């Protein structure tokens, strides 16, 4: 396990801490850590298309506050394996929750507080519900799920016929989409930069380190097959794996944190979360889009550190 070398690209480096590899269920998982191993553990979980390097502004501050900070690349993202779907292996938030629990058990070897960005917030919530003894608390910044945009958070029963039709349609569409052509094309085109910018309120088109963080995994040979597998997996999740159902079952403390100007997951989605759990604390960060931890790290830390201190 060696220290990562700093990036020479424009923009803050996405390399931080010590980097290592962990093998889980035949898959390679890239992870990082920073801080004193005797301090309480904190696990950072990145969002869609990102990786552990996306916490570049946060890991040092959290370690300085007395936490041992860990972060990993979810299976299918970053420098971790990019597998296709297989029997018994569905790429959705349930699998990623199992990945987090195994990491906490085998590598961290202690329960931890989880901080998740976007998809990582949903994965952290899932891990807290499915493996409650391993999670002390969750920060979701933000918490996205199409199920939260439904008119009601009530459970909607699907008939067996409808489920079969839905499964057949989703799988057919994902097979017909030429992702092996689309993904590399986007990864090498200026459209990728525009896609990254859509997640930010502040200009980031000149941040080459951020661009590399997103582009390099998308240029790997397994990117298209992993994207197809997770598209099918997330679309066909049972209701119990959606955010409304998970929020109802959660017993640990949860902090919701949103960028007020988030265009991808608008702040009104936070109110849908609070419709399920009205007591949840919510912090809206000004001058921030979908990536508040990266756009406004100081404000992010001001919101999160007191909440973390209360958990101690």
Could you report the per-residue pLDDT of 60-95, keeping only the tens digit for each?
999 999 999 999 999 999 999 999 877 778 899 999
Q: What is the structure's pLDDT at 302?
A: 98
Q: What percent of the chain has pLDDT over 70?
A: 88
**Omega before 281 cis (within 30°)?**
no
Token pair of 275, please?
């419709």
41 beta partners: 68
- CA–CA separation, 92 vs 227, rounded Å? 11
172-186, pLDDT tens digit by residue? 565 656 678 788 888
Contact in structure between 291 and 123 (CB atoms under 8 Å) = no
Contact in structure between 234 and 93 (CB atoms under 8 Å) = yes
- CA–CA separation, 70 vs 33, rounded Å? 4
Confidence bin at 12 (pLDDT 50/70/90): confident
Supply the mean pLDDT for the chain: 90
Three-state secondary structure of 79-139: CCCCCCCECCECCCHHHHHHHHHHHHHHHHCCCEEEEECCHHHHHHHHHHHHCHHHEEEEE
- Asked if residue 168 has pLDDT above 80, the reply is no
Average pLDDT over residues 125-146: 97
Q: What is the structure's pLDDT at 17?
A: 97
Average pLDDT over residues 8-28: 89
Sign (positive or negative) of CA dihedral 155, 247, 265, 15: negative
CB atoms within 10 A of CB 3: 10
- CA–CA separation, 200 vs 168, rounded Å? 35
Q: What is the structure's pLDDT at 3?
A: 41
Choose between 232 and 63: higher pLDDT.
Answer: 63
**Pairing state of beta strands 68-72 and 27-34?**
antiparallel
Rg (CA), the chain: 19
- CA–CA separation, 198 vs 48, rounded Å? 13
Q: What is the structure's pLDDT at 2?
A: 40
83-127, pLDDT tens digit by residue? 987 777 889 999 999 999 999 999 999 999 999 999 999 999 999
SS3 (DSSP) at 78: coil
Fold of 2-311: Rossmann fold (3.40.50)
Choose between 183 and 262: higher pLDDT.
Answer: 262
22-60, pLDDT tens digit by residue? 999 999 999 999 999 999 999 999 999 999 999 999 999
Average pLDDT over residues 7-30: 88
CA distances from 247 to 48, 89, 255 (A): 20, 24, 12
Q: What is the structure's pLDDT at 139?
A: 98
CA torsion, ordered 47, 51, 54, 59, to nearest 10 deg:
110
Q: What is the structure's pLDDT at 162?
A: 57
Token pair of 129, please?
């519900």
* Domains in the chain: boundaries: 2-311
The secondary element (H helix, E strand) that includes residue 270 is helix 268-276
- Asked if residue 170 has pLDDT above 70, the reply is no
CB atoms within 10 A of CB 158: 13
pTM of the entire predicted model: 0.90
Q: What is the structure's pLDDT at 1?
A: 42
SS3 (DSSP) at 199: coil
């Amino acid at each position: 396990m060696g220290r990562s070398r700093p990036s020479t690209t424009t923009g803050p480096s996405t390399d931080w801490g010590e980097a290592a590899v962990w093998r889980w269920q035949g898959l390679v998982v890239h992870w990082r850590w920073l801080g004193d191993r005797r301090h309480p553990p904190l696990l950072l979980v990145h969002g869609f298309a990102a990786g552990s390097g996306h916490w570049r502004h946060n890991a040092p501050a959290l370690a300085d506050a007395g936490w041992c900070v860990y972060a990993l690349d979810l299976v299918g993202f970053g420098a971790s394996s990019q597998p296709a779907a297989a029997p018994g292996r569905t790429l959705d938030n349930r699998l990623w929750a199992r990945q987090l629990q195994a990491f906490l058990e085998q590598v961290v070897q202690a329960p931890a507080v989880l901080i998740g960005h976007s998809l990582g917030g949903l994965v952290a919530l899932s891990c807290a519900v499915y493996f409650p003894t391993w999670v002390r608390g969750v920060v979701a910044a933000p918490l996205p799920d199409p199920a939260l945009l439904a008119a009601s958070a009530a459970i909607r029963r699907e008939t067996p016929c409808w489920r079969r039709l839905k499964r057949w349609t989703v799988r057919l569409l994902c097979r017909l989409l030429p992702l092996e052509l689309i993904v590399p094309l986007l990864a090498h085109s200026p459209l990728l930069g525009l896609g990254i910018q859509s997640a930010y309120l502040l200009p980031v088109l000149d941040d080459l380190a951020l661009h590399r963080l997103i582009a390099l995994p998308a240029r790997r040979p397994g990117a298209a097959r992993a994207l197809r597998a997770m598209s099918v997996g997330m679309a066909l999740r049972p209701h119990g794996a959606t955010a409304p159902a998970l929020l109802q079952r959660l017993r640990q403390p949860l902090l919701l944190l949103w960028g007020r100007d988030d265009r991808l997951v608008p702040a009104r989605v936070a109110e849908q979360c609070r419709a399920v759990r009205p007591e949840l604390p919510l912090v809206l960060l000004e001058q921030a889009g979908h990536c508040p931890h990266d756009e406004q790290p100081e404000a992010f830390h001001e919101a999160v550190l007191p909440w973390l201190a209360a958990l101690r």
